[in-house]
Structure 1
Amino acid sequence: MSPEAQMNALSAKALPLGTSDFVALRNSNEIYVDKTALIFELASVRSKILIVRPRRFGKSLLVSTFESLFKNGLRDFSGLKIEKLWKDKTYPVVRLDFSDLKDLPSAEEFQKSLRSMIATAFAAIGFRYDPANTVSLFLDQFKLWLSTLGTNSFVLLIDEYDAPLTAHLDNSSLFNEIRTALSRFYAVIKRYEGCLRFFFMTGITKYSQTSIFSELNNFDDITLNPAYATLLGYTEEEIKSGFAAYLRNAAEKLGTTEKHVLQNLRDNYDGFSFEPSAQSHVFCPWSVLNFFKYPQQGFKNYWYESGGQPSLLLKYLEKHHLVRPESFDVPVAMTLDELGAVRQYDKLSVEALLFQAGYLTIREQLNVAEVEVGYPNKEVELSMARLYADEMLRDINRLDAGISRLAKMLDRECPETVIAYFNQVFNAIDYSRYPVVNEASCRSHLQVLLMGGAMVPDVEKHSALGRSDLEVETPHRRWVFELKFSADGANAEKLLRSAVMQIQDRRYGEAPHGRELIAVAMVFNGRERRFARWEVVPGAAA
């Protein structure tokens, strides 16, 4: 394709980056990945549905799509799969976005804002709240109005139902008061559910053992339903068909092939699975769209910077302690019950919270009740490493610690400077919380540090002759670190010689990579908390 034709193809359909309004997306001729066959399955019958997904997966756009369908019929669905399926009439639609209620500092302000939101939203379909009526409270007036409605009178859509609760995870008193206020509202909706044609609700976390879900126990929770595993997010086929021109453009900008671009998209942004068998998986839409908009910047970490670093998750982890670095990349077995429903809010499972926040995903089904969870891709793995690194060095500024400059240091500085920096960081770690007690924990701490500096090290990298401890690439170099551990410094010289021989005999790092090879044998002294002995092993550039 000529550059002119390519530009025409790109301009024919714009990227829907940041567009969460379905009507605006369609009117602006932006790419819409057609999910309407699944939407038809959900919307064609009376139902009350909940789906929980991480940030940046298009939940608000999905809610907006339902809104357009029920309010305007097929007006905005020309050429989409549902056009030949949908036969229903239009309905009044009430849409509530509870993320607007997440930053309220007191229960009184929350209740006032919730009443205002309900009164305003339902006024559009006929509800009139009379504040002068001191006999009937707000919810009593709301009940009375609902009781006058007929069957299937309107559609109710709630986006980010959990936002007000998650905003106050660190304040149990306020959490409980907000939960109570929301439960009263849901109890009213449940009592008069006959007037609902369709009720759809999204969130990030499911607080199952709260009074909210006792009021909504008749919901169809499709969060882990295989039939809807790809309702949110992009499949690989959807990327190939819907973004073909952008794939070609990215390959040209990066001077590579479309196949290579797609493989990198898989490695960095794919891998999210929301069904037990892990057979279906999707790409994070936000990251894919940002890459296609700026392909010349490479495969950056877009998710973390735009919502993958939830401040409240960090607050929670501070109270409950992040697992130790040696557990950083170890898969975890969990029951489906744990994944599908976060338990009591004050006893949240860290793994379940990380799953629902998008940091962990289903990797494999172990049996009918259990699955293995792990990081879905490099982007999330790096994001998690940054959380670990920040937590390990909680009281130290990233710039002061030099983590932000670590990649440049490895690319430009001599080994002596690099080892001195490692020792500086290890000395700054709180050893009561993050002890280095053996070779494995030493390697894990170093791995997290490198990833916290936005690098992707290979751990125990296999070669024809063995496995090196850590290897990491920078633009001009490939580093190999072979580690040994001495609790008190004894036998340090013997351990160093063993590490040197391993590098030499097994030729670690010598596979073709076109970079300067720097192989370093290092012995960590547990008592002194530093790499006390190290040696660069001579090697040729590969």
Structure 2
Amino acid sequence: MHSAEFSLSLGTSEFAALRGANQIYVDKTDLIFNIASQRRKFLLIRPRRFGKSLLVSTFASLFKNGVEHFSGLTIEKLWQDRKYDVVRLDFSGLKEFVSKDHFEFNLRSELINAFSPLGFHFDKENADVSFFVQLRTWLNSLPQSSLVLLIDEYDTPLTAHLGSPEKFKAVRAELEKFYAVLKNADGCLRFFFMTGITKFSNRSSFSEFNNFNDISLNSKYSAILGLTEDEIVRYFDLHLIRAQEVLHLSREELLQELKENYDGFCFDRNAQTHVYCPWSVLSFLQNPEEGFLNYWYESGGRPAVLKGYLASHRIENPFEFDEDKQIRLTDLQAARGYETIGLDALLTQAGYLTIKTVRSNGTAAIGYPNREVELSIAQLYADELLQGKFIDPMGAPMLSDLLGTGTLESIVRRFNDGINQIDYHNFPIESEAACRACIQLFLMGSALIPEVEKHTALGRSDLEVAVGSRRWVFEFKFAHSSDEVENLLKEGEEQMRSRRYGEGREGIDSRALHCAVLVFNGAARRFEAYREVGNNFQDNH
């Protein structure tokens, strides 16, 4: 599958079409066989752009057409089951509606279109028997284990209206009626598979399924979506060679860049397996000359679930965005109500955070999976801090340009301009750590990649960032009043000199080193003093 005749499957979510077009298909059909062989109801939660729709399409092809489109794949010699009637529902098209009645009409139209080819007929004239009673009666008339039902993006109509409680409740109430029908008609179902991004939005709906098999954190299926490094090397060898040639990188250097940017997602309760985001990897391989861009956030990493959540919830402290976090695995597995879910659980389900390690007491350390996502969450938090305003004014040099060629004075002025746009009532800067985190968010929101608490033999620098031909090393100090500023400036200067921050990179980084101390005055709410430390440092107040 890695010969020149096979192309990338970027944007193809139909299995038969992918196979017919000779596009690369990473063979995970051994796992598909394990799932499809069971007569159970399955739920799989994954972030956007991980291939959920392609997986649903693969199940549809298998049950409807057998192994017709599976030539050369593992499952071809394993699958012995017969063919089935298949109903495939995609709830992503149900998110737009103007009223409760409108949603009810859209949902019932979707169900009629899906079930009528198999013989379901809705009698509109029979007002005494509701739509869902008619559907339940018809389903119960089907032979045992004769129907395969697949639902993709079950939660989209809910997450699209998190900011509108009235619409949210209307959607949930209508969907519960449908799930109740499916529970009652369980006998006709040979197989049921459902995907979504979140598991919090319809807790009461899940009560209709007391025998759901949630495989979202099942170690056996942790890599059923996403790409492992071995799979990337095996299936995309020629594309990797092309990327190496375009970017003038060795194979080792290329794989390291791919890992840092797109790897690190863990959907394993034992934290033993991690995968790359397939959309990002394929997007990069499609256009390697563009470099390692942020594909996930721009194409699907800003799902409606986060927009809706932030419409009615405030991020309590964006300055904590880079701090270590932990969560109970039960909080990730439970179908919590929208009102009670924590932001960290939501961010983990949506793919912004991921499992790093798991302790024996059932708690998991969570963090950003890779550089792409870390920059995405920084942009989200920076937007929250600035309330939609921009750190770079129209017509003015960008912050990245100032760091690359500007003076320390111009850089600090831009930092202060950004701080002036922050709502101090909601987001006060009250510590050195908050100063550092604020500047870190500004930099990352500008698509820069700062390093925090960079380790040296004598200590840790607060923040370092490379831009163009320069590498900046910043030391932050927090003053409670103007009386403390001068002493803290001298203290920071001595600290930078004695601990030789930024040194020792000769032969590794040819950029010009610029070290600076910035003192933030909490009373004045600004960086009041700053000094570049070097052989010819300048003193600015």
TM over 0.5, yes or no?
Answer: yes
- In structure 1, distance between residues paired with 2:3 and 2:497: 51
The residue that corresponds to 2:75 in the other structure is 82
Q: Of 41, 53, 74, which aligns to 1:48?
A: 41
Is the CA contact (8 Å cut-off) linking 1:343 and 1:349 kept in structure 2? no
Between the aligned partners of 1:392 and 1:90, the Cα distance in structure 2 is 55
Match of 1:400 in 2: 393
1:277 equivalenced with 2:273 (yes/no): no
1:518 aligns with 2:518: no
Tell me how large the CA RMSD over aligned residues is: 1.8
Asked if residue 105 in structure 1 is aligned to residue 98 in structure 2, the reply is yes
CA contact (8 A) 2:161 2:308 kept: no
Once the two structures are overlaid, the 10-residue window that deviates more, 211-220 or 320-329, is 320-329
Q: CA deviation at 1:258?
A: 1.0
For residues 395 and 64 of structure 1, the distance between their equivalents in structure 2, rounded to whole angstroms, comes to 38
Quick one: structure 1 residues 15 and 201, their matched pair in 2 at CA, closer, same or farther if it must change by over 3 Å?
Answer: same
Query: C-alpha distance in 2, partners of 1:189/1:403?
Result: 59
What is aligned with 1:164? 157
The answer to whether 1:120 aligns with 2:113 is yes
Structure 2 gaps of 5+ residues are 537-541
Is the 8 Å Cα contact of residues 342 and 352 (structure 1) preserved in structure 2?
A: no
Preserved contact between residue 203 and residue 335 of structure 2 (Cα < 8 Å): no
Match status 1:367 vs 2:360:
yes
DSSP 3-state at the match of 2:68: coil
- 1:402-444 deviation digits (Å, cap 9, x = unpaired): 9992222211222211111111111221111111111111111
Q: Quickly say closer, same or farther: Cα 1:282–1:487, change in 2 above 3 A.
A: same
Question: Aligned partners of 2:397, 2:83: CA distance in 1, in Å?
Answer: 54
In the comparison of the two structures, how many residue pairs are matched?
A: 533
Paired position in structure 2 for 1:93: 86
Contact 1:172 1:346 in 2 (8 A): no
Q: In the alignment, what sits opposite 1:538?
A: 534
Q: Which residue of 2 aligns with 1:177?
A: 170
Q: CA 1:367 to 1:9, structure 2 compared with 1: closer, same or farther past 3 Å?
A: closer
Structure 1 window deviating more from structure 2 (334-343 vs 30-39): it is 334-343
In the other structure, the counterpart of 1:5 is none
Matched, 1:527 2:509: no
Compute the displacement of 1:275 (Å): 1.4
- Residue 284 of structure 2: aligned partner: 291
After TM superposition, the score normalised by the length of structure 1 is: 0.95
User: What is the rounded CA distance, in whole Å, between the counterparts of 2:67 and 2:304 in structure 1?
Assistant: 40
SS of aligned partner of 2:284 = helix
Q: Match of 1:267?
A: 260
Residue 125 of structure 1: CA displacement?
A: 1.3
Asked whether the equivalents of residues 55 and 357 of structure 1 are also in contact (C-alpha less than 8 Å), the reply is yes
CA 1:131 to 1:318, structure 2 compared with 1: closer, same or farther past 3 Å? closer
Rate the CA distance shift 1:320–1:133 in 2: closer, same or farther, 3 A.
same
Deviation at 1:277, TM superposition (A): 1.8
Partner of 1:198: 191
Moved more, 105-114 or 402-411: 402-411
Aligned partners of 2:450, 2:495: CA distance in 1, in Å? 19
| Alignment partner, residue 380 of structure 1 | 373
Contact kept, 8 Å, 1:492 with 1:533, in 2: the verdict is yes
Identity %: 51
CA contact (8 A) 1:208 1:341 kept: no
Q: What is the deviation of 1:247?
A: 1.3
Q: 1:9 to 1:171 in 2, by over 3 A?
A: closer
Q: 2: CA distance between counterparts of 1:388 and 1:411?
A: 24
Q: Secondary structure at the match of 2:398?
A: helix
Q: Name the stretch that deviates more: 488-497 or 114-123.
A: 488-497
Aligned to 2:130: 137
The answer to whether the aligner puts 1:324 opposite 2:317 as a matched pair is yes
Larger mean Cα displacement after TM superposition, 234-243 or 368-377: 368-377
TM-score, normalised to structure 2, is 0.95
d(CA) in 2 for partners of 1:108 and 1:138?
A: 14
CA distance in 2, matches of 1:539, 1:250: 42
Shift of 1:502: 2.0
Q: What is the CA distance between 1:133 and its match in structure 2? A: 2.7
Local SS of the residue matching 2:482: coil
Contact preservation (8 Å) 1:325, 1:441: no
8 A Cα contact 1:342 1:349, kept in partner:
no
How many Å apart are 1:370 and its aligned residue? 1.1
Q: Aligned partners of 2:347 and 2:528: how far apart in 1?
A: 37
- State whether residues 518 and 539 of structure 1, in contact with CA within 8 Å, keep that contact through their aligned partners in structure 2: no
1:22 equivalent in structure 2: 15
